[in-house]
Chain A
Amino acid sequence: MHFYRRLCNVCFVSLALSLGFNISAHPQDNPNQPASGFAARQAYGDKIIIGSAAEASNLIPMLSSDSASHEVSGFIFNGLVKYDKDLTLIGDLANNWDISEGGLVITFHLKKGVKWQDGVEFTADDVMFGYQTIINEKTLSAYKEDYFQVKKAEVLDKYTFRVTYDKPYAPALASWGSLVVLPKHILEKEDINKTAFSRKPTGTGAFKFKEWVPGQKIILDANDNYFEGRPYLDEVVLRIVPDPTTMFLELKTKGVDWIGLSSLQYQKQTDSAFFKKNYKKFRYPSFSYTYLGFNFKHPWFSDKRIRQAVAFALNKEEIVKGVLFGLGSISTGPYVPNTWPYNPNVKKYEYNPQKAKELLKEAGWQDKDRDGILEKNGKKFEFTILTNMANTERIKTATIIQYRLKEVGIKVNIRSLEWSAFINWFIDKRRFEAVILGWSIGLDPDQYDIWHSSKTKEKELNFVSFKNEEVDKLLEEGRRTFDIEKRKKAYFRIQEILAEELPYIFLYVPDSLPIVSSRFEGIVPAPIGIGYNIEKWYVPKRLQKYRIEE
């Protein structure tokens, strides 16, 4: 089944650092929106067909770990807090919150009069119920860890919810998103792992569940009583099309209104008059990056000069051009451009093969037998880059790296592996010299699990075995304060150290490339993407395509 090169959705999902947040958060008033004239075009009605490669599995947010499920439940549920379009945390079901006693106590003041979609009022008891459900040992949730940090949770009154921590924990605030708000009155007597609610949920969100046709589509209806106002669109349909090529053909026949494009499709296949007339393309950095990681347990790569030499030998711009058709940006650290933790002023390694050769020579590597490959103590400089088979972008990246390193006298072999074998036999067992992988990054900058020296045991994520005392200290600092300036300082410094030490060579940040039918208006791209204000999207009356037939 080699031709299903991009079907391994599982692989991408399990790479995600954080999936616990709704991307379809809800907007503040849109400052870009002209008042009159424009507003007259806004109309209720029509539906949007979103093409989805994978089918959702479970619509209770805390129980699912696949992005398809979170995409759907994001339309239906709200959290106490959410990320705004510029990636700062704002209130969602909470009006506001107080952080007291040095960050140990968070008190949420909830909005009054918010109704579940069945008409029952939402209160602090529902948050308490969600919290108690996720920490219950029977509940199968991958997100428990954040809630195990809570020392005490209390309902002070109907609209006030308070949590107390042992230690200040900055990612804690974001954890009070949609994972832990569940309707107590419906689920109280149910077994959360087996309840029918998981396929027929009731939330507080802009859209409510209507129908799930297994393997085909999930239909959501506008929530007339949504607390931020009814969405303009009548329906959201998530249509399941597993094959990416078929999905593109569906786009060509207008069978779907909104999908994500590949770089190739964006650059080469959607420039025709047809696409210009019928679709709008968007482009912004995704929350992910691809890197070349070294195994610090390997004697060669534990030498910083070698890692830096490899960095100088590579031309990242060339990789972005060759692999992504230019639709991405070069990466310099574990955060993506345009987000607050991103430090633009770190050491950069411009393409400089001469410098690379000097560093290698300094480390004792020389080509004495003139066969083009460096040696030291009778050993040739030859190593293998591992990556996963399903990802052609990574394999292309590896090939470019192979070519560039050959120029400085390093022979690279490329081996691509099936995902499970790769993770279980090579990453977990630390049996690799170098790997090309990627991270999806969460919206909170805490990356303790990836860089802290205590996280190097089997199955833990510092699998390159990076160890740096200052980074350890800064990671600890960064997660123990809510002060954004202090956090910024810590994470800026971490990026400087990572750029110097190079546990990874950060390669590129691919762009997200959504395409949406041009009949939809009100789309305002922001750092968080385009989907955050979908309830403000509308189709002018004369352009409406689907009418609800009763």
Chain B
Amino acid sequence: MLNYLSKKAAELLITFFGITLVSFFLINLAPGKPTDVVSDLNPRMTPEIRAIYEKQWGLDKPLHIRYFIWLKNFSKFDFGNSFSSDSRPVWDKIRERLPITILINAISMFLIFLIAVPIGIHSAVKPNSLSDKVTTFGVFVGFAMPVFWLALILQLIFGVWLNVLPVSGIKSLNYENLSFIHKFFDSTRHLFLPIFITVFGSLAGLSRYMRSQMQEALSQEYIVTARAKGLPEKVVIYKHALRNAILPIITILGLSVPGLISGSVIFETIFAIPGVGQLLYSAAMARDINVIMAEVVIVSILTLIGNLLADIGYALADPRIRVK
């Protein structure tokens, strides 16, 4: 097992290295440079001033050298400084925005799991029943609906017409003066719509996957055996079938972390939530390479950890994998 793990870890390290290499060159291949925000179509910008910026930001060096410098800094966990007029360390910018993104995604993941799994089980146990059809229709509506459109409609309904939820932001203006319990309510009200939209849009994938896993499990011979020996249907479904069906689901859930983060780009902008998704969007627009790279690194680390956990999960469950 240890041998298997160390081999896996080495693979991941190489993959990670590859990701940074390809991302770095891809980002730099895109038209435009970080200095463009300051210099494009700006009459006060002379070639001399542009050269000052490029020198200070280290953009005057060849691309491969810049990559090695980036790699060297990264090995010391230094993401460099942002190429915007604030010149702040990239990690500072990300750190202040990471908690809210993680909070929203963690709550969303939890709710997705909590809702999608029962839907999937139910659909598998009673396939093609009316309730199966209704829930299937419901989750697909969520899947098919564009996030930005749904967000606007809900903002309009709950924020403007009914006036029961705030339209955007994460805190009210008078948040500091509220008591603890009111602070909690205030945050809940602000986070309700973003979380609802994230959850609603992600139910389809997981519940459908759960449904097919469960159906497969239910068609296995051990289920026939279980039923044959007279076990109650509840025990058959929740003990025998579910245990086998749910393992891959946990893996899938882990792998959907990066997807949720990229989804954050959209709803964080719409709901004015100061998270890393919004930061990524503005950094991409401004060609702020260091910030983009840092976010790419974070998302790829999450993906790789998700992969690793999936592998470990399989290895634990299936001895054939760890022997091979």
Q: Which residues of A contact B (CB under 8 A)?
A: 1, 3-4, 7-10, 13-18, 49, 54, 57-58, 63-66, 69, 137-138, 140-146, 193-194, 198-199, 213-217, 237, 239-243, 245-246, 249-250, 252-253, 255, 418-421, 423-425, 427, 448-450, 459, 461, 546, 549
Given A10-B285, A193-B87, A423-B40, A215 and B97 touching (CB < 8 A)? yes
Which residues of B come within 8 Å of A, CB atoms?
Answer: 30-32, 36-47, 49-50, 52-53, 56, 84-87, 93, 96-97, 146, 148, 152, 155-156, 159-160, 163, 166-171, 173-174, 177, 265-266, 269-275, 278-279, 281-282, 285-287
Listed from nearest, the 6 A-B pairs whose CB atoms lie closest are A215-B274, A420-B32, A449-B43, A14-B40, A421-B31, A58-B85
CB pair B44–A142 under 8 Å, yes or no, is yes
Known: A144-B44, A215-B278, A246-B167. 9 other contacts (CB 8 A): A69-B85, A140-B53, A142-B42, A142-B44, A213-B274, A246-B270, A253-B159, A418-B31, A549-B177
List the B side residues contacting A249 at CB < 8 Å. Answer: 152, 155-156, 159-160, 167-168
Between A and B, 17 residue pairs with Cβ closer than 8 Å are A1-B281, A54-B282, A64-B85, A144-B49, A215-B97, A215-B273, A237-B173, A241-B168, A246-B271, A249-B155, A249-B159, A250-B168, A252-B159, A255-B169, A420-B31, A420-B287, A423-B31
Whole-angstrom distance from the CB of A366 to the nearest CB of chain B?
38
Q: How far is the CB of A486 from chain B (nearest CB, A)?
A: 22
A65 to B: closest C-beta gap in Å: 5
Q: A214-B96, A215-B278, A241-B272 in contact; A255/B56 too (CB < 8 A)?
A: no
Given the complex of chains A and B, what is the CA–CA distance between A245 and B149 in angstroms? 11
Contact with B36, one of A7, A255, A423 (Cβ below 8 angstroms) = A423
> Are B44 and A143 closer than 8 Å at their CB atoms?
yes
Give CA–CA (A419, B36) in the complex, Å: 10
**Are A14 and B52 in contact, with the CB atoms below 8 A?**
no
Q: Which residue of A lies closest to B160 (CB)?
A: A252
- B85 lies within 8 A of A420 (CB): no
Please tell me which one of the listed residues A10, A69, A145 contacts residue B44 in the complex, with CB atoms under 8 A apart. A145
Considering the complex, give the chain A residue whose CB is closest to the CB of B165.
A253
Contact status A65-B46, CB under 8 Å:
no
CB distance from B292 to the nearest CB of A (A): 13
B278 to chain A, nearest CB (A): 6
B contact residues around A421 at 8 Å (CB): 31-32
Nearest chain B residue, comparing its CB with the CB of A246? B168
Let me know if A142 and B39 touch, CB within 8 A: yes
Query: Inside 8 A of A243's CB, which chain B residues have their CB?
Result: 168, 269-270, 272
Bound CA span A214–B275, Å = 10
Q: Which of B31, B174, B286 has the most CB of A within 10 A?
A: B31
A193 touching B270, Cβ below 8 Å: no
Partner of A65, one of B31, B42, B265, B279: B42
Q: Are B269 and A7 in contact (CB under 8 A)?
A: yes
Q: Which of B38, B52, B169 is A137 in contact with, Cβ under 8 Å? A: B52
In the docked arrangement, what's the CA distance between A456 and B136, Å?
62
Please give, as numbers and ranges, the residues of chain A lying within 8 Å of B56 by CB-CB distance: 138, 140, 193
Chain A residues closer than 8 Å to B97, beta-carbon distance:
214-215
Asked if residues A194 and B87 are in contact (CB atoms below 8 Å), the reply is yes
Complex Cα–Cα for A1 and B171 (A): 27
A255-B167, A420-B287, A461-B41 known; A425+B31 contact, CB < 8 A:
yes
Pick the residue among B36, B163, B265 that contacts A420 (CB under 8 A): B36
Q: Chain A contacts of B177 at CB under 8 A? A: 549
Chain A residue at minimum C-beta to C-beta distance from B93: A214
Residues of chain A within 8 A (CB-CB) of B281 are 1, 4, 7
Interface pair A145/B285, CB less than 8 Å apart: no
Residues in B whose Cβ lies below 8 Å from that of A144: 44, 49, 52
Residue of B nearest to A193 (CB): B87
Contact, CB under 8 Å: B170 / A140: no
Residue in chain A with minimal CB distance to B82:
A57
B162 CB to closest chain A CB, in angstroms?
A: 11
Cβ of A424 and Cβ of B31 under 8 Å apart? yes
Tell me, in angstroms, the Cα distance from A195 to B174 when the chains sit together: 30
CA distance A198 to B97 in the complex (A): 19
- Please give, as numbers and ranges, the residues of chain A lying within 8 Å of B46 by CB-CB distance: 145
Indicate if the CB atoms of B269 and A66 lie closer than 8 Å. no
Q: Is the CB of B85 within 8 A of A140?
A: yes
Enumerate chain B residues within 8 angstroms of A420, measured Cβ to Cβ. Answer: 30-32, 36, 287
| Docked pose: A461 CA to B269 CA in angstroms | 33
Chain B proximity of A86: nearest CB distance (Å)? 24
Q: How far is the CB of B35 from chain A (nearest CB, A)?
A: 10
Q: How far is the CB of A454 from chain B (nearest CB, A)?
A: 13
A58 touches B159 (CB 8 A): no
Do A246 and B272 touch across chains, with their CB atoms under 8 A apart? yes
For A16, the closest partner residue in chain B by CB is: B42
For residue A237, give the distance in angstroms from its CB to the closest CB of chain B.
Answer: 7
Chain A residue at smallest Cβ distance from B273: A215
Instruction: Provide the bound-state CA to CA distance between A252 and B155, in Å.
Output: 11
**Chain B residues, Cβ within 8 Å of A198:** 86
Measured CB to CB, the closest approach of chain A to B89, in angstroms, equals 10
Whether A423 and B85, one on each chain, are in contact in the complex, defined by CB atoms closer than 8 angstroms, is no
- Residue in A8, A15, A137 with the greatest tally of chain B CB atoms within 10 Å: A137
Contact B285 A8 (CB under 8 A): yes
* Chain A residues with CB below 8 A from B278, complex form: 215, 242
Q: How far is the CB of B14 from chain A (nearest CB, A)?
A: 32
Contacts of B37 in A (CB 8 A): 10, 13-14, 65-66
> Is the Cβ of B36 less than 8 Å from the Cβ of A14?
yes
- What's the minimum C-beta distance from A8 to chain B, rounded to whole angstroms? 6
Q: Give Cα A14 to B177, complex, Å.
A: 40
CB-CB under 8 A from B43, the residues of chain A are: 17-18, 448-450, 461
> Using Cβ atoms and an 8 Å threshold, which residues of chain A touch B52?
137, 140, 144
On whether the beta carbons of B85 and A63 are closer than 8 Å, the reply is: yes
CB-CB < 8 A to B41: which residues of A? Answer: 14-15, 423, 427, 461
- In the bound assembly, the distance between CA atoms of A119 and B278 in angstroms comes to 38
Whole-angstrom CA separation of A418 from B36 in the bound complex: 13
* Interface residue from A194, A216, A461 paired with B170 (Cβ < 8 Å): A216
| Cβ 8 A contact of A459, one of B39, B163, B286 | B39
The smallest C-beta distance from B61 to any residue of chain A, in angstroms, reads: 17
| Complex: A57 Cα to B93 Cα, angstroms | 11
Could you tell me the distance between the alpha carbons of A134 and B295 in the complex, rounded to whole angstroms?
A: 33
**Do residues A459 and B47 form an inter-chain contact, with CB atoms below 8 A?**
yes
B38, B42, B46, B156 — which one has the most chain A CB atoms within 10 A of its CB?
B42
**A549 and B32 within 8 A (CB):** no
**In the bound complex, how far is the Cα of B42 from the Cα of A18, in angstroms?**
8
A250 to B97, CA, bound (A): 22
Smallest Cβ-Cβ distance to A549: which chain B residue: B177
Nearest Cβ on chain B to A76's Cβ, whole angstroms: 16
